[in-house]
Structure 1
Amino acid sequence: MEVTSQLIWNPVLADPTGQRQMKPRTLGKTMVIDKGLGLNAFEDLLSTSSNHIDMIKIGFGTSPLYPQLLLKKKIEMAKALGISIYPGGTFLEVAVVQNAVASLFDMISALGFTGIEVSDGTIKMDRKLRNELILRGLESGFEVYTEYGKKGWGSSIELDELIETVALDAEYGAELVTIEARESGMGVGIFDAQGNCKDEELHKVLSSVPSPGILLWEAPLKSQQVHLIQLLGADVHLGNISSQEIISLEALRRGLRSDTLSLTTGKE
């Protein structure tokens, strides 16, 4: 049987920026939200896009709604490719409300999840409990991601609160702090009702947070991804990316789409 060696793209064609990190990345991480993919669709996602995915969030509180063997298989497949996989922060909020935090930690550990998200997007959570949950996640061997912002329509960023949250979350060991935008990207956080970025608020955040590189911006819409890449560079951390948009987003990061080609050539 004839063996054909793998062809290699000219680097200036594969990545015109010449700067994209290979995995495991510290810059330009991409988080995918899984809102109900079946096993075949999940396998297709990984076979086409695993090199461009750093984290997968099993959205909201959907984890117990899957057939358990299917969920475990998805977790195993992601882990085998060096992708952090974790349930949505809303699920932990449910556990807090139901006084079932210990049970949640035991179950997601047994299933093989590698991360956990600590958020208070829907419930009220005092700083003491947030600290305890971050530390508990680390002690359980999870990568801990936190989230800032409320999910309600029209909710906005309280700058002083954000600064304190980012500083303390980082101090307690959070890997990244996600800025809430939900899966819609409209009327929440730094985005207005039409999904446009409120640049003044964004710049206030960037100028106030000591380590902007710890921030992961939820940006489910292409227009938001383009804007944030143009404003903050290809190495911005982006999340809540749909499973169909991973290759498209990576092309934006590398200047392989018309929207961002000018970032690598200096030409329109």
Structure 2
Amino acid sequence: MRSAVLDNWHQLLRDPSGCRTADRRKGLGTTMVIDKGMGLNAFSDFIETAGPFIEIVKFGFGTAVLYDQELLRNKLSLAAGSNMIAMPGGTLLEVAIAQKAVGSFLDKICSLGFTGVEISDGTIELARIRRTSLIKECIKRGLTVMTEYGKKTAGSGIDPEELAFTAHCDWEAGAELVTIEARESGLNVGLFDEQGRCKEHVLMEVLGKVDHEGRLMWEAPLKSQQAELLLQFGASVHLGNIAPTEALSLEAMRRGLRSDTFGFGQRQADADYMI
């Protein structure tokens, strides 16, 4: 009979960083994946492969309304079985606001089995009092609330003071995390320039204004962006709009299992040596 020890990778190979060994839902860094239209087989494969490392799956923009409802319920059931929060994209709620159909929208997503919601104003204007009211209403309905800061228009930037105020109010109202807009491209919006490079001075200004940066989630669809934010904040930074096919690769970076963050493992080895 094979030894159980031989069937497992050495822990220092599984997680050289030493930062991913505890319960992934206890402050170890949220990963939010954006699903832009996977079929059931592809979604099932994604869950089987990367499910243990994903906290949130977002059904991007307004795609949720386009699925056959049985297919959608099956996908949501798979997400729930992997303890993922499933939410429609914030743009769908913005459409509901514009069409004066918010009550119907919330009734429907709850009945379908969505467990989270994203409240954003990337395309519309949303008064502060309405934003707070929506957060509280969604929480009353048992939904986990994520909010988003930033506009989707190309060239839109971050106002650090406005972000700090928005985040403070959202957290006070009960939002779990505040996401910084970068769209699914990560180009020329929010924190990133036309080439997808991080605007370092903007990042530093944000950190100087926001009191609880550990409750910010950064949309970072590109690998270079993920690596830069991991090196800036560490393995537990919250990252969103990750492509399903890149979810396992991101977890590898969080652990120091890619060259971009190889130093995570070296720092842990040095700490162990010092002890």
Q: TM bucket by the smaller chain?
A: over 0.9
Decide whether aligned partners of structure 1 residues 35 and 19 sit closer, same or farther in structure 2, where only a CA change above 3 A counts. same
1:55-106 Cα shifts (integer Å, max 9, x gaps): 0000001101011000001111111111000000000000000000000000
Output the CA distance in 2 between the equivalents of 1:216 and 1:104: 25
Distance 1:4 1:61 in 2: 50
TM-score, length basis structure 2: 0.94
Aligned to 1:80: 81
How far does the alpha carbon of each residue in 1:112-152 deviate from its partner, in whole angstroms, 9 at most, with x for none? 10000000000000001101110010000000000000000
For these two proteins, the number of residue pairs brought into alignment is 266
Distance in 2, matches of 1:24 and 1:235, equals 11
State the 1:24 CA deviation: 2.2
Question: Could you say what secondary structure the match of 1:86 adopts?
Answer: strand
Question: C-alpha distance in 2, partners of 1:116/1:3?
Answer: 46
Q: Which consecutive unaligned segments of at least 5 residues does structure 1 have? A: none
Secondary structure of the residue that 1:244 maps to in structure 2? helix
Q: Cα 1:3–1:9, aligned 2, differ >3 Å: closer, same or farther?
A: closer
* Correspondence 1:12 to 2:33: no
Say yes or no: does 1:52 pair with 2:50. Answer: no
Structure 2 counterpart of 1:241, which letter? Answer: I
**1:190-246 Cα distance to aligned partner (Å, 9 max, x none):** 100110000110011112111011100000000000111111111100000001001
RMSD: 1.5
Secondary structure at 1:146 match in 2:
strand
1:34 corresponds to: 35
In structure 2, how many angstroms separate the alpha carbons of the residues matched to 1:83 and 1:159? 31
Query: Counterparts in 2 of 1:152-191, with a 5 A limit?
Result: 152-191=153-192
Aligned to 2:207: 206
- The one-letter code of the counterpart of 1:75 is L
Q: Hey, what does 2:239 align to over in structure 1? A: 238
Identity %: 52
Name the aligned partner's letter for residue 179 of structure 1.
I
Q: More displaced, 132-141 or 254-263? A: 254-263
Partner of residue 272, structure 2: none
Q: Which runs of 4+ in 1 moved over 2 A?
A: 2-6, 21-27
CA distance in structure 2 between the aligned counterparts of 1:68 and 1:189, rounded to whole angstroms: 34
Aligned-partner residue type, residue 220 of structure 1:
P
Q: State the AA in 1 paired with 2:15.
A: D
Secondary structure of the 2:118 match is: strand
Higher RCO (CA-CA < 8 Å; seq separation 6+): 2
> Paired residue for 2:126?
125
Q: Which structure has the highest helix share of the two?
A: 2
How far off is 1:4 after superposition? Answer: 8.8
Which secondary structure state, in structure 1, belongs to the residue aligned with residue 193 of structure 2? coil
CA distance in 2, matches of 1:9, 1:243: 24
Report the secondary structure of 1:245's partner residue: helix
Work out whether residues 24 and 82 of structure 1, in 8 Å CA contact, stay in contact via their aligned partners in 2: no
Once the two structures are TM-superposed, the CA of residue 28 in structure 1 deviates from its matched residue by: 1.0
Contact 1:255/1:264 (CA < 8 Å) preserved in 2? yes
Please state whether the residue corresponding to 1:231 is helix, strand or coil.
helix
* 2:146 equivalent in structure 1: 145
Tell whether the 8 Å contact from 1:116 to 1:142 is kept in structure 2 after alignment: yes
